[in-house]
Amino acid sequence: MNSSLYLIQSSSSATQSVLAKLKQIYDQQDQVIFFGEALSLLTQADLDYFAQCYCLESEQVLLDLNLIPSFTLLNSTQFADLVLQFERCISLK
């Protein structure tokens, strides 16, 4: 698989900067997992840029309720399986 998996774990103060950087390097075949504080600052406009977005089931409480349908929710086993599908996982903080 030539695509990348991006792991977005930014603080609330860095999230917009990380999203701007991600949009510069993102390809439509790539996939993105958002974690923690980054989830709480996302908008639908942010998510519309990405073909496939994920978050952990346990962290969906951080999302705006209107954004939940834009995500695929992962349990820990699904998260591990997804990560193992990629040769290239890139963490942005």
Angle at 56 between CA 53 and CA 57, to 5 degrees: 115
Q: What pLDDT does 1 receive? A: 56
Q: What pLDDT does 2 receive? A: 79
Domain of 72, in residue numbers? 5-92
- Domain CATH number, residue 30: 3.40.1260.10
Taking only the tens place, the pLDDT of each residue in 12-67 is 899 999 999 999 999 999 999 999 999 999 999 999 999 999 999 999 999 999 99
Q: What pLDDT does 33 receive? A: 98
Q: What pLDDT does 78 receive? A: 98
Distance CA 73, CA 53 (A): 9
SS3 content of the chain, % helix, strand, coil (to 5): 45, 20, 35
Amino acid present at 19: L
Report the number of distinct structural domains present in the chain: 1
In this predicted structure, the answer to whether residue 84 has a pLDDT above a threshold of 80 is: yes
**Residue 73, strand partner residues:** 55
DSSP E strands: which ranges in the chain?
A: 5-8, 31-34, 53-56, 72-74, 89-92
